[in-house]
Chain A
Amino acid sequence: MENWRENQEIIVMEGRIKVPYTWAAGEVGTRYLETLRDQRKFMGTRCPRCEIVYHPPRRNCPDCFEECEDWVELGSQGELQSYTVVRRHHPQLSPLPLPFAYGIIKLDGADTGFLHILSDFQEGELAVGSRVEAVFAEEREGNIRDVLFFRPVKGVD
Chain B
Amino acid sequence: MAKKRVAVTGVGMTKQRSSRPDVTGIELINEAVRAALDDAGITRKDVDAIVIGNMDHFEGINYVDTWSVDGNGALMKPIMKVCTGGTTGTTVAMAAYYHVASGLFDKVLAIAWEKNSESDTTGAIITAFDPFWDRPCFAGAVAGLALEATQYMAETGATEEDAAYVAVRDRKHALLNPYAHLHINLTIEMVMESPYLSWPVKMGDMCPRTDGACALIFASEDVVDEFPHRPAWILAVADRHLWAYTSDPYVNQKMVGGTWFPAMEKATEEIYSKVGITDPLNQFDLAELYLPYSFAGLRYMESLGFCDRGGGPELVRSGATDLGGKCPVNPSGGVLSSNAIGATGLLRVAECALQLQGRAGERQVPNARLALATGFGGCFWSDELILGVDKPEKPRG
Contacts and interface: CB of A to CB of B under 8 A. Distances in A.
Interface residues of B, number: 43
Nearest to A15: B60
A127 B155 CA distance: 12
Interface string A100-138: 001010100001111111000000000111000000000
Given A62-B244, A63-B255, A84-B143, A12 B21 contact: yes
Contacts, number: 119
A21 B127 CA distance: 12
A113 B197 CA distance: 23
B80 interface: no
Contacts of B151: 81-82, 128
Interface string B114-139: 00000000110010000111101111
Contacts of A129: 154
A90 interface: yes
Given A84-B199, A113-B251, A115-B134, A90 B244 contact: no
B50 to A, nearest CB: 27
A114 B245 CA distance: 8
A112 B22 CA distance: 48
A93 B123 contact: yes
B197 A88 contact: yes
B185 interface: no
A42 B261 CA distance: 28
A146 to B, nearest CB: 10
B269 interface: no
A90 B122 contact: yes
A10 interface: yes
Nearest to B250: A82
Contacts of A56: 132-133, 245
Given A17-B60, A81-B151, A111-B254, A145 B136 contact: yes
Contacts of A104: 147, 246-247, 251
Contact of A86 (B123, B136, B143, B255): B143
Nearest to B139: A93
A147 B244 CA distance: 21
Contacts of B148: 82
A87 B246 contact: no
A83 B151 CA distance: 8
B254 A29 contact: no
A35 interface: no
Nearest to B256: A63
A112 B136 contact: no
Chain B CB within 10 A, most for which of A12, A84, A111:
A84
Nearest to B129: A115
- With a 10 A CB-CB cut-off, give which of A58, A85, A87, A143 has the most chain B CB atoms: A87
B21 A115 contact: no
Given A90-B122, A115-B138, A62 B255 contact: yes
Interface string B177-198: 0000000000000000001111
Contact of B140 (A25, A90, A143): A90
Nearest to B134: A115
A52 interface: yes
Interface in B71-88: none
A81 B251 contact: yes
Contacts of B195: 87
A23 interface: yes
B252 interface: yes
Contacts of A52: 254-255
Given A90-B122, A113-B251, A114-B245, A83 B150 contact: yes
A39 interface: no
Interface in B248-305: 248, 250-252, 254-256
B199 A10 contact: no
B200 interface: yes
Given A82-B251, A115-B133, A144-B132, 12 more contacts: A23-B132, A25-B132, A33-B132, A63-B256, A81-B247, A83-B147, A84-B146, A84-B198, A86-B143, A86-B199, A116-B137, A128-B155
8 contacts: A17-B60, A21-B131, A52-B255, A82-B250, A82-B251, A87-B195, A90-B139, A144-B133
Interface of B: 21-22, 60, 122-123, 126, 131-134, 136-140, 142-143, 146-151, 154-155, 195-201, 244-248, 250-252, 254-256
Q: Which 9 A-B residue pairings sit nearest by Cβ, starting from the closest?
A: A84-B146, A93-B139, A128-B154, A82-B151, A10-B21, A85-B199, A87-B196, A113-B247, A115-B246
